Every structure is written in C-alpha cells, then in structure tokens.
Chain A
Amino acid sequence: MSQKHILLIDDEEYIRTVVKTCLVNLGGWAVSMAESGQEGLLIAKKEHPDAILLDYMMPGMNGIMLLRELRKETTTRSIPVVMLTARVQPSDQVEYTELDVLGVISKPFEPLNLTTQVATMLGWQS
C-alpha cells in the first residue's frame, strides 16, 4: 500500500507543527500544510490528497466555507474530511454531517491517539 497523503489546514502555525509531527512520526503519512482556507483549496485541487484534516475557525475562508467549495468541485468532491476543531457544538455537528464530514476530533487533541483516531474515521485500518 502506498504512503497516505494528508492535507492539514489550520491558521495556527504551532498547531500545524505539532499535528504534522504526530502524523509524520506516528502515522508515517506524508503531510501537506495550508494556513488558510484559500490556500487549502488550491492545494486540494492541485495535490488531490487522500484526506483533509481541517480546522473550523480561520480568518477569511473558514473551514465550513472551504468544505462547501470542496463539495462543489468534481475533482475535490469526494476527498474525505476530518475536522480538528474546538467547534463541537450540536449546531456545528449538523453542518459537518450535511457536508459529509467523516469525523470530528476536538481540540485540544490527544497527540498519541491522533493518527489512530484519524485512520479509524477514514477507514484506513491496516
């Protein structure tokens, strides 16, 4: 099985660094990163990652706006998405479900379980 490729979108530099370290070191995955919704959309279209790990609250295009854009485009429509966010209110959950989000991991997350959680949500069990 080829190496999995994940796109991580979060506006917080330190969170990106920590999450990337988890995904690379504990999951053995390849990780691309974007610091905004706009940048994330471009990378998603260009690189077609196996999955996206997405923050909600970002200035400019937030996570939900990005998801809507992704779901519009045929090339990005079926990319599986897992949210990594502090927004886990019931009203948020409804939005996530409507936009085919496969799972939600709340911040602060458990670094040692992160890859297992993401893999389970994506059905990547080895």
Chain B
Amino acid sequence: MLFLDECFPEECYEFYCQGNPRSVSDVFKDKWADCLAEFMEQVGVKTKIVAPIVQMDDKNLPRVWGLLIVHSCAYYRQWQSNDAELLQSISNQLGIALKQSDLYSQLQTSEIRLRNSFENAVNGMAMLTMNGHFMQVNPALCQLLGYSKSDLLSLTIQDLIQPQELDRSRDSVQDLIRDQISSLQIESELLHQSGKTLWTICSASVVRNPEGEPLYFVVQVVDISERRALEQMKSEFISSVSHELRTPLTSIHGSLGLLVSGALDNQPETLKQMIEIAATESGRLVRLVNDILDLERLESNKITLHRQWCNAEALMQRVVDILRLTADDRDIRLIMTPTAQQVWADEDRIIQVLVNLVNNAIKFSSPGSTIELSVLPQHDNASLPSQSKQQDTHEHSLDGDSSSSLPILFQVKDNGKGIPADKLDIIFDQFQQIHGSDSREQGGAGLGLAICRNIVQQHGGNIWAESELGQGSTFYFTLPASESR
C-alpha cells in the first residue's frame, strides 16, 4: 500500500524507502507532515525521530512496511545523529524479524499443502531410508497393506517383498541409487499384513542433496491385483477357447484334406466316415462359437431379460418337447411333476437353462433311466441339505419384496453316473468338464453350465448341484417369485 496523500508525500516515501531515519526538530514545522500538526498538538508532541521499517517485496524492490517513531513531548528535544542511527538499527532488526515470520508462515502453508497431498493421495506413498526403512507412509499405503501407520513405520520394504523378487530387482535398485536411471517401476507382489500377497506396481525415485548424494527413496504403490486377476482369467479363457476350437478344427481340417486329395476315392466306407466327422465336428464348432458369444453377451450384461409371468408347467413342457427325441434315442424317460406355479422370468432364457440341464442329464444317464423335472415354492423344501446356499438366495431375491412371495425352486434330477463332490462347485465355471473325453464326445464345450449360472444369477436366483457317485445328480436353481428388483 502506498500513502500518496499530503500526509505522506512521495518524496518522503522515497526517502524512507532508502532506509533513512528522519529527525524532526519541531513537529509544527515539518514540511512533510503538515496534516499531522493538529494531531501532534492534541497528543502534545514536540519533536520526533522516525525510522522506517523497510522490506523487499516479491520483485526484490524496497517498500516501507511501517515506521518506528519516538516522540518527545516534554520539551523540544534536540535529537543526535546516533539517536536516529540507534532507532534505525532497531527498525532494521524489526524488518528482518517481520520478514522471517512472513517466510515462516508461507513455509507452513506450503508444508500443510504438501502434507495434505501426501495424506489424501489415492495411491500408496512412502518415503524410505536408503536402507529400506519406512520413514513416512500415507493412509492409502497403510490401508493397501493392512498395517497401522506405526506398525508400517517399524518395517522395511524388504519385509514386504518376496526374497526372489528382491533378487530380481536388486540391480535396477542399485542403478537408481547410482543415478544411472532416474526412476524405477517394478511390478511386484507385496506381502499384506494378513499373509496374503498383493500384486502392485511400485514406482521409486531418489531424493538427493545439492551434492548429489542420495538422501531417501520416494515410492508410490498402486494396487493392480484386480487387473492381474482379470489378465489371468483372460489368458486362461483364451487358452481354453483355443484348445476347444482346435480340437474340432483338427478333425475337420484333417478329414476334408483327405477327402480332397482323392486318397480315399476307392474306399467308400472311409470316405463316408470322413464326411461324417467333418459334418459333426463343424456342428460342434458352431455350437461352441454360439456359446462363447452368448456367454460373452451375458457376462457383459448386454442381454436384457424380458420378464413376464409364465406358467412353470408350460415352461417344463416346452423343454420336454424340445428334448423328447434326443431322450427317446437313448431310451431315457423325461417326466415332470404337474404344478400351477407361476414364475416371473424371461421364458426363453429359463427354457435355455432347463434344456442345458436336461441335455446334460441325458448325456450322463444310462438307457432305461428316468429324468425328473419339477418346480416347488422354496418353503416346501426346508429339508433340503443346501440350506446355506439357499439362504443367500433368500436375501438376494427377496430384497425389497414382500415376504409373502417365496422363491421358486426348479429341480432336474437324474440317475446318471454322478459328479465327484470336489467338482460340484467348479462345474459352473467355464470349460470345466468332469468326464473329460466322454463329455467331449457328446459335443459339449464346457460352457453350458456357465451360461446357466449367468442366466439364473441375472434373474436374481442361485444355481447349484447335489450328487452321489453312481446314484445320480440333482441340479437346482431358484427364481424370485415376483417382480423384485
């Protein structure tokens, strides 16, 4: 702020700016402060010395921060030049102190800002001593690794990394310390407090003093376990798909190649066999590709369910009609329990689920046996062994619904060869087949049950199986009874 009025003329300001004190031997005859005369009279001032407090501004130009003034009121004191020098030197000290205090509060503000960025960062951040001890950690890192701040501060980074990983990154860390690289990024498994490991990307750099000596590491840690799991799933899926595609393709390519070559022209039996193989296996390929696309659309929620009230008995009747010929071929009887039950579902999709389940049952049943389809409100089945699983369904499907409507339970029961207990859960995963080769002979690609599970879950229901080896299997799935969201 500049005082550009008659009380503080510019030449006076300039004079002060240069750090000059001023002795005024009679305040009533002060050419630079006429306006103060009245005030001086009131207060009873007779003479004064004024010493400016000068500071450098942001552009390093002097500015008058204030004035230190000594008044003489008792008499017309004649100020000596060393009086003025003394006062000025006090003013100068004051100026320095004020400047320090300004700088200190600026530093505090910037320190608070930096600390807040560190404390509130989304990614885990830490400072490490050159030996790897944690010096500072932020809450995101504590949460990521499951440690309290104080626990983490008592550890070293070496405590959290597997020995083989440490060996692997040792050279690059040395390069970083020697300033041969400016930063380092390592994809590494860190040990969570629970003992589990966690996939992360750790980025590190080194803070140095002006002489270039390393002081400490600054490390950022990003959790990539979800991404890793996805990548793993994707690569397993691709390898399964590629195997499932190659198998029929091998037969088709081989049989067609032989046919085209003419090598079998005088063997009509073998020739016919090759044509049959090509036809059967191309059908298998078509089903596989359709299933993959269907599953992909279901999993990425690109399919909208068209739910309506449907009659459960009519649904089952459709399934029986669709599969009657297949069952007859193998001398298997399909029976269904009559019911008046209504279900709130996408008819086509539920038929798809039932066709898949009954088709599987047919594949693994021996001639002369029976497959039973039935549907019940779930409370009629309180004696079922899988209560725990059904409770999940209760919670899920009755969410926000009145308690009067119970979930509906569908059952497909066969007397086939059964499923080993340890496979009961994984059969609903992609490309899982229990009976290896013989289910492939049946043309299954291992996606049917994964599709079923997806459809049932999208309806808000649950699907599971119970089985006894040699006795048969029962597949169950539930559907919410009414329009629950």
Contact = CB atoms under 8 A, between A and B. Distances in A.
Contacts of B433: 59
Contact of B254 (A13, A15, A35): A15
Contacts of B242: 86
A115 B436 CA distance: 28
Nearest to B261: A112
Contacts of A58: 436-437
B433 to A, nearest CB: 8
Contacts of B249: 107-108
Contacts of B264: 21, 25
Contacts of B261: 111-112
Interface residues of A, number: 25
B255 interface: yes
A91 to B, nearest CB: 12
A110 B257 CA distance: 7
Q: Find the residue from B254, B255, B261, B274 having the highest chain A CB count within 10 A.
A: B254
Interface residues of B, number: 30
Enumerate the 6 nearest inter-chain pairs by beta-carbon distance, A residue then B residue, closest first.
Answer: A59-B436, A111-B257, A18-B254, A14-B251, A11-B437, A108-B253
A86 B251 CA distance: 13
B162 interface: no
A73 B441 CA distance: 32
Contact of B246 (A11, A25, A35, A86): A86
B258 interface: yes
B168 interface: no
Contact of A18 (B263, B277, B436, B441): B277
B253 A17 contact: no
Contacts of B252: 108
Interface in B244-277: 246-255, 257-258, 261, 263-264, 267, 270, 273-274, 277
A63 B257 CA distance: 26
A51 to B, nearest CB: 19
B35 to A, nearest CB: 94
Given A14-B277, A21-B264, A25-B264, A111 B436 contact: no
Contacts of A111: 253-255, 257-258, 261
B437 A18 contact: no
B441 to A, nearest CB: 6
B258 A57 contact: no
B440 interface: yes
A22 B437 contact: no
A86 B247 CA distance: 8
A59 B441 CA distance: 13
A36 B440 CA distance: 14
Nearest to A26: B263
B257 A11 contact: no
B280 interface: yes
Interface string A93-123: 0000000000000011111100000000000
A17 B273 contact: yes
7 contacts: A12-B250, A19-B254, A21-B273, A36-B437, A59-B437, A86-B250, A112-B263
A90 interface: no
Interface string B278-316: 001100000000000000000000000000000000000
B29 interface: no
Nearest to B435: A59
B243 interface: yes
